[in-house]
């Protein structure tokens, strides 16, 4: 009897625990849940999931209950007679082979249906986005609009977006859990993924992740998706299409009047308001210990543009409108000032972080390709200190670059 009581008590504790966990999951604080769909694709998958969960739970309960029941009921008691030496039962074998087979049919049929629906060609008129996975950031191009950006996408609600996925190096995986399933990003072939964000998702932010182990900073390869109204999307595109105003060379006033004012960037298109971004989309990664920046420096954007255009930066980065910045190895920085995060979702896009990033990117994010640039900083990949001879930048120079980049809205 003691054994039975103990088992019963344990079983009830286990159920309570499972229930508590389940209850805890149902509340709102799960910004990346796959269980609440927000797109047509998400709903297709969710239908399958619900059925799998239902059938799985039923099977679980039945099998475990049978197990627990039998294990308790057939305990050996004192003077227990020899049990019947049953060798088997063909009837039972057939039954418990057929029933699972039937259950599987209920899974297989909707599965095959969903496969063909979701892997059909995207609807004509879809918004095409070319996604290129790099170690460890995301390059996004809107070919129909001539927009190239990095680590952030804006999507109009109610319109199907068709992602064309390719990798520039190793295998990655493109995943926005709340909007749909994932698809691997592979070299030498193009994969496709499409979905239509629900209209109810206007003015929302979603987290995106790389979901295929791709090296040291796989965990740091994140992106943001902003689902906005079609009007806001059009405005954003208009802004992103144009070269950053800052990048334009200041032309002398043709009629001899005053030169145009010192260049300032300005938001030329819609940008999702920073203050509206929920906490789950704001990075909280701490700054690595030992990385410092001189306090109280003010950056000068015009000077920053000069430093930028003469430093290693232009080897990897492009800024439309800045004719010397045409590098393609790193993210396009034309409108970097408009983005909410830097370093592929690792840090907020704010001057303090940007400054530290430029100073020692490799310390901020393990093993990145971007070299350490701060003078006297230790480059953990090259295992050497940066000197003036190797192009090291002073804190003031970095502050200037930060001012320049921040203005590139």
Partner 1 sequence: MATTAISTPAYGGEYSGEHSGLWSWLSTVDHKRIGILYLYTALFFFMFGGVEALILRAQLGAPNQHLVSAEFYNQLFTMHGTTMIFLAIMPLSSAFFNFLIPLQIGARDVAFPRLNAFSYWVYLFGGIFITVPILFAVAPNGGWFGYAPLTTKAYSPGINIDFWVIGLQVLGVSSLAAAFNFLTTIINLRAPGMTLMRMPMFTWMAFVVQFLLILAFPVITIALVFLLFDRFFGTNFYNTVSAGADPLLWQHLFWIFGHPEVYILVLPAFGLVSEVLPTYSKKPLFGYPVMVYSGILIAALGFGVWAHHMFAVGMGPIADTFFGLTTMLIAIPTGVKIFNWIATMAQGAIRYTTSMLFGIGLVALFTIGGISGIMHASPPADLQQTDTYFIVAHFHYVLFGGSIMGIFAGIYHYFPKIMGRLLDEKLGKIHFWLTFIAMNLTFFPMHFSGMLGMPRRIYTYDAGQGWDLYNAMSTVGAMIFPFAMLIFIYNFFKSRKSGEVAGSNPWGAGTLEWSIPSPPPEYNFAKIPTVTSRYPLWEGKEVDHESARINSQEGKTAAELGIVMPYNTIKPLLVALGLIVMFCGLMTTPILIAVGAALMVFSLYSWLLSPLEPEHH
Least distance (Å) between residue 107 CB and partner 1: 6
Kindly tell me which of 30 and 303 has the beta carbon lying closer to partner 1: 30
**Is residue 277 part of the contact set for partner 1 (CB under 8 A)?**
no
Helix spans in 171-314 (H)? 230-241, 301-310
**Is residue 78 part of the contact set for partner 1 (CB under 8 A)?**
no
In the set 285, 311, 312, 350, which binds partner 1 (CB under 8 A)?
A: 285
Identify which of 267, 310, 288 has the alpha carbon closest to the alpha carbon of residue 400: 310
Least distance (Å) between residue 91 CB and partner 1: 11
By rule CB under 8 A, what string of x and - marks binding of each residue 29-48 to partner 1? xxxxxxx--------xx--x
**Is residue 294 part of the contact set for partner 1 (CB under 8 A)?**
no
Residues numbered 86 to 125 that lie near partner 1 (CB under 8 A) are 86-89, 92-93, 96-97, 100-101, 104, 107-108, 111-112, 114-116, 118-119
Sheet architecture: strand order including 191-195? 147-150, 137-142, 127-134, 161-167, 191-195
Question: Of the listed pieces 55-63, 250-258, 307-315, 348-356, which binds partner 1 according to CB under 8 A?
Answer: 55-63
For 42, which DSSP code? Answer: H
Residues numbered 167 to 206 that lie near partner 1 (CB under 8 A) are 167, 169-171, 173, 175, 177-178, 180-184, 186-189, 191-192
**Chain-centroid distance, C-alpha 54:** 29
In the set 25, 200, 329, 387, which binds partner 1 (CB under 8 A)?
A: 25
Contact 331, 339 (CB under 8 A): no
Least distance (Å) between residue 76 CB and partner 1: 4
Residues in contact with 311: Cβ distance below 8 Å, sequence separation at least 6, in sequence order: 373, 391, 393, 397, 401
Handedness of CA 356, 358, 362, 368 (dihedral sign): positive
**Is residue 64 part of the contact set for partner 1 (CB under 8 A)?**
yes
Kindly tell me which of 98 and 324 has the beta carbon lying closer to partner 1: 98
Pairing mode, strands 137-142 and 127-134: antiparallel
Least distance (Å) between residue 205 CB and partner 1: 12
In the set 124, 256, 286, 296, which binds partner 1 (CB under 8 A)?
A: 286
Residues numbered 240 to 269 that lie near partner 1 (CB under 8 A) are none
**Is residue 128 part of the contact set for partner 1 (CB under 8 A)?**
no
**Is residue 53 part of the contact set for partner 1 (CB under 8 A)?**
yes
**CA atoms of 28 and 37, how far apart (whole Å):** 14
Tell me the three state secondary structure of residue 254.
coil
Kindly tell me which of 204 and 268 has the beta carbon lying closer to partner 1: 204
Handedness of CA 312, 331, 33, 170 (dihedral sign): negative
Question: Of the listed pieces 141-149, 229-237, 281-289, 326-334, which binds partner 1 according to CB under 8 A?
Answer: 281-289
**Is residue 21 part of the contact set for partner 1 (CB under 8 A)?**
yes
**Is residue 329 part of the contact set for partner 1 (CB under 8 A)?**
no
Contact 372, 303 (CB under 8 A): no
Kindly tell me which of 107 and 314 has the beta carbon lying closer to partner 1: 107
Contact 341, 348 (CB under 8 A): yes
Residues numbered 361 to 380 that lie near partner 1 (CB under 8 A) are 366-367
Residues numbered 200 to 239 that lie near partner 1 (CB under 8 A) are 207, 209-220
Least distance (Å) between residue 101 CB and partner 1: 6
Q: How many residues bind partner 1 (CB under 8 A)?
A: 101
Residues in contact with 372: Cβ distance below 8 Å, sequence separation at least 6, in sequence order: 359, 360, 361, 362, 363, 378, 379, 380, 381, 382, 386
**Is residue 283 part of the contact set for partner 1 (CB under 8 A)?**
yes
Cis status, amide bond into 136, omega within 30 of 0? yes
**What is the CA angle 268-270-274, rounded to 5?**
110
């Amino acid at each position: 009897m003691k054994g039975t009581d103990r088992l019963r008590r344990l079983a009830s504790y286990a159920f309570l625990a499972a229930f508590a966990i389940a209850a805890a999951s149902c509340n709102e604080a799960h910004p990346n849940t796959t269980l609440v769909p927000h797109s047509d694709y998400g709903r297709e998958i969710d239908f399958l999931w619900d059925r799998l969960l239902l059938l799985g739970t039923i099977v679980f309960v039945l099998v475990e209950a049978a197990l627990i029941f039998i294990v308790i009921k057939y305990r050996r008691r004192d003077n227990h007679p020899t049990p019947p030496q049953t060798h088997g039962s063909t009837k039972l074998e057939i039954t418990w082979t057929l029933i699972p087979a039937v259950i599987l049919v209920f899974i297989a049929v909707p599965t095959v249906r969903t496969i063909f629906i979701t892997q059909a060609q995207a609807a004509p008129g879809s918004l095409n986005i070319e996604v290129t996975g790099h170690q460890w950031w995301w390059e996004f191009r809107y070919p129909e609009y001539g927009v190239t950006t990095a680590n952030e996408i804006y999507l109009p609600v109610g319109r199907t977006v068709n992602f064309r996925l390719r990798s520039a190096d190793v295998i990655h995986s493109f995943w926005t859990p709340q909007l749909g399933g994932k698809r691997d990003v592979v070299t030498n072939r193009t994969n496709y993924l499409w979905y239509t964000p629900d209209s109810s998702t206007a003015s929302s932010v979603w987290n995106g992740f790389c979901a295929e182990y791709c090296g040291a900073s796989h965990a740091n390869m994140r992106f943001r998706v902003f689902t906005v109204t079609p009007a806001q999307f059009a405005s954003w595109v208009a802004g992103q299409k144009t070269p950053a105003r800052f990048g334009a060379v200041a032309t002398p006033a043709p009629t001899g009047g005053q030169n145009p004012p010192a260049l300032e960037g300005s938001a030329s298109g819609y940008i999702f308001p920073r203050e509206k971004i929920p906490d789950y989309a704001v990075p909280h990664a701490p700054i690595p210990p030992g990385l410092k920046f001189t306090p109280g420096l003010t950056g000068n954007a015009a000077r920053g543009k000069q430093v930028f255009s003469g430093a290693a930066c232009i080897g990897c980065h492009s800024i439309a409108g800045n004719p010397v910045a045409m590098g393609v190895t790193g993210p396009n920085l034309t409108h970097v000032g408009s983005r909410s995060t830097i370093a592929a979702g690792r840090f907020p896009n704010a001057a303090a972080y940007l400054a530290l990033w430029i100073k020692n990117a490799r310390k901020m994010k393990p093993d990145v390709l971007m070299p350490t640039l701060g003078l006297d900083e230790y480059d953990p990949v090259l295992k050497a200190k940066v000197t003036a001879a190797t192009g090291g930048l002073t804190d003031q120079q970095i502050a200037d670059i930060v001012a320049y980049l921040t203005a590139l809205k």
